Amino acid sequence: MASDNDDDVPLLTDDDEQLITSEDREPTVEAVFVVTFDVKDGNTIEFQMPEKSQMALNDVEYKALPSGSHRVNQDFVYFRHGNKYGLACLARANVSNEDNASAVSTVVPSQRGMCIKSVGIITSSIIHIQSYLQFLQNEA
């Protein structure tokens, strides 16, 4: 069912109908990650749990922080990762050296005055995935 290019895989298929109607099942969160944009390296996974050796999150950094993310202050992204489902909240913060209370207060000149990050999860089921929206929004 899954192809090499996850963009070709629909978010839901007819086989997923049983998942949609199963209201009492909570999804299993299989991974948590933070993606950041670096002007030299592009989108990079800054943190992931479980570690890379236990779960490969190949190309999640591009799905969780899509092109054009610098144009919005905050947004949510739903995506597929193989046969799993992903949800991420991306956020843009304007930063300056005067903002000493912020976790992103140290500005490298190459950051161009902004920091863009995306906090996300990979889950085994699309059921109740929206229940993580508030958590991800708070963490982003």
Rounded to an integer, the average pLDDT of 87-113 is 65
Maximum alpha-carbon separation in the chain: 53
**DSSP letters along 13-81, please?**
-GGGHHHHH-TTPPPPEEEEEEEEEETTTEEEEEEEES-TTT---TTHHHHHS-TTGGG-SEEEEEEEE
9, pLDDT greater than 60: no
Q: Identify the pLDDT of residue 138.
A: 87
Rounded to an integer, the average pLDDT of 89-101 is 71
pLDDT band at 126 (very low <50, low <70, confident <90, very high): confident
Lowest-pLDDT range of 5-9, 62-66, 80-84: 5-9
Q: Identify the pLDDT of residue 47.
A: 94
107, pLDDT greater than 70: no
More confident residue, 48 or 71: 48
Rounded to an integer, the average pLDDT of 36-60 is 90
Q: Identify the pLDDT of residue 57.
A: 93
Q: Identify the pLDDT of residue 10.
A: 56
Mean pLDDT of the chain: 77
Q: So where are the chain's domains? A: 31-139
Q: Identify the pLDDT of residue 8.
A: 55
Closest to 33 in 3D by CA, of 65, 75, 68: 65
